[in-house]
Amino acid sequence: MNEDNFDILSIRLNADCFKYATFNDVEQETSETFIWKTDVSLSLTANLRKFFQENEELCNCQQALIKLESTRYVTVPIELFNETDAEVFFYHNHTKRENETVLYNKLKSPEVAVVYGLDTNAYHLLTAQFAQTSFIVDLCPILTQLAEKSRQGNNKKMYINLTPDFIDVVCYDYGKLLLANSYICRETSDRFYYIMYAWLQVGFDQENDEISFIGNITEKPKLLASIDKYIRHRTDIRTIEEKEIKNIKQ
């Protein structure tokens, strides 16, 4: 660790790859984003060790923002959330795993805590590597951006974040979070099922309320054609620009 290095490392972790960039806090400059392919036969901790061995210069960063792509989380209204009960909230909704550290992020908009789990060995490796390490689950900046966007217009809104392996389903009533769930699914029929199930679960109106899609997958046109048969107001919004490095200090 180099105390004269003012770079902040931002790294997004998922099963297939790590995406990373650095931000220089003095010069206010952001590097190019790089992609490092993981070895899917190795654990997250083993991949992290290999990553830092191959990118030793990143170990000199003073700070790191670790962004986790995960469907393993739960949202809790901030007025009900108690830090000492984070594990209780989390394991009430997810099967308990050995060697797991439960973390949380508190959001001001919407007013919820997002509670999630991370492999304990990976957690200790990352916190030992940098002087200051922050963790955030991938969905958090999306929730905040969409909370503001949902206040536009006069109807309730559902947002679908599409990825090849899962979908995030987020519902708002004028900025108030009604639902945030992620579903592992790789087929159009499964995506359609989970979307319609969530739509009915929150009691949205097929004639008046709105659904929007984020992200691109090969099967997206087929999915939208099915959605259009049942929901009148459907829109696409541009990819959300997440200012993850500059927001590390907030």
Q: What is the phi/psi pair of residue 93, to 5°?
A: -110, -15
How far from the centroid of its chain's Cα atoms is residue 155's Cα?
A: 25
Query: What confidence tier does 48 reach under pLDDT thresholds 50, 70, 90?
Result: very high
pLDDT at position 92, please? 95
pLDDT at position 49, please? 97
Task: Give the H or E element holding residue 167.
Answer: strand 166-173
1-137 and 143-236 share one CATH topology?
Answer: yes
Give the Cα separation of 200 and 174 in Å (integer).
18
Question: What would the two tokens of residue 19 be?
Answer: 């995406």
pLDDT in tens, 83-110: 999 999 999 999 999 999 999 999 999 9
Give the Cα separation of 223 and 86 in Å (integer).
36
Residue 146: what residue type?
L
pLDDT in tens, 165-211: 999 999 999 999 999 999 999 999 999 999 999 999 999 999 999 99
pLDDT at position 198, please? 98
Domain limits, the chain: 1-137, 143-236
The CATH superfamily assigned to 1-137 is Protein of unknown function DUF3822, N-terminal domain (3.30.420.250)
Q: pTM for the whole thing?
A: 0.87
Give the Cα separation of 134 and 64 in Å (integer).
6
In CATH, the number for domain 143-236 is 3.30.420.260
Rounded to 5°, angle at Cα 54 from 130 and 137: 50
